[in-house]
Chains A and B, each alone.
Chain A
């Protein structure tokens, strides 16, 4: 079976989708059986979700830029 370290490398480096289908299947099978690797995968997913949600500029950004662009013509 593919070792946990190899699975972790693929998950962390975002290279899983670039792998051939049999490798992706091997990793998915591993994730079904290994609670630590599946925990890592879940945490990486959650980190991305929270980063997307909380990193939001203020509401008037576009208006300021449009005004400045209009004023610079």
Chain B
């Protein structure tokens, strides 16, 4: 026993460092991926057999995640999240690279698992559980605010509207049968609140100037006569965020709203059509015009490289 003890002591001292090395090695070689399992409460990423890394909540992951130019989600997770035989005592931040293909599963996982918890959350809300209300606010307030801003409201107005959405939601809770997603219902209330404030969700015009711009890019046979410019330099620049935000602010309200609900909030076509009370065809027209406008706006900012 006495001959073993020093060895054990040394091993216990060395283990955290070994674990750190393994963790760093696994992260740096993260091109071999990484099966990501997503629920509302956690993101579990399998690094190796018996070694998983769990983020507390998907929201925590998304706040710390960013994209590099190869459209790979880089997620910063605490070393303390690591579970398995090599769980260390020291903390260290590491990065996991999840390819874009997995991100779709990531997003769909969040949305799919959200639906299954709908019923339980509703029951708690009907019992006026304060924690359930907090959960509903934490889950939907930000998307609602982004959607309100997309409708053209200032930050303070948008926050007031979101506040009103929740007040109405609580007042009408007993009438909500749960046939649609809670999120869909909240966005629907938001839409009606916006209409009440006379920020008209204008009926989409039959003709829009962007349609002519789109047509001008093709010859009679449907081939590109003026192909899309190479915008890689713009997309790799630090100003890309401000550029796109500026272009989004120039979108007509209805087009901006459709774009935000689809691209930023990740709602599917059926949900968006239900919220905005438009047909699928109208949705397609709005998305077409929104995306075409954004693309033309970015190209016009003079960042193209031919």
Contact = CB atoms under 8 A, between A and B. Distances in A.
Given A4-B223, A49-B67, A65 B141 contact: yes
B145 A13 contact: no
A14 B214 CA distance: 16
Interface in B253-270: 259-260, 262-264, 269
Chain B interface residue count: which class?
35 or more
Contacts of B242: 54
A50 B264 contact: no
Given A13-B288, A69-B170, A53 B66 contact: yes
Contact of A43 (B134, B141, B231, B287): B231
Given A44-B295, A55-B248, A65-B159, 18 more contacts: A8-B217, A11-B291, A12-B288, A12-B291, A14-B269, A14-B283, A14-B288, A36-B224, A37-B224, A43-B298, A51-B260, A51-B264, A55-B146, A57-B141, A61-B159, A65-B137, A66-B134, A69-B163
Nearest to A61: B141
Dominant secondary structure at the B interface: helix
B245 A54 contact: yes
A17 B293 CA distance: 22
Interface in A13-54: 13-15, 18, 36-37, 39-40, 43-54
12 contacts: A3-B222, A4-B218, A5-B218, A5-B223, A14-B262, A40-B228, A47-B244, A50-B244, A53-B66, A53-B241, A54-B245, A56-B63
Nearest to A68: B163
Interface of A: 3-6, 8-9, 11-15, 18, 36-37, 39-40, 43-57, 61-62, 64-66, 68-70, 72
B159 A39 contact: no
Given A49-B71, A61-B141, A39 B230 contact: yes
Contact of A62 (B141, B149, B231, B291): B141
B82 interface: no
Contacts of B218: 3-5, 8
Contacts of B262: 14
Interface in B109-168: 130, 133-134, 137-138, 141-142, 145-146, 149, 159, 162-163, 166-167
Contacts of B288: 9, 12-14
Q: Report the 10 A-B pairs with minimum CB-CB distance, sorted nearest first.
A: A3-B222, A54-B241, A36-B227, A5-B222, A13-B284, A13-B288, A48-B263, A5-B218, A12-B288, A14-B287
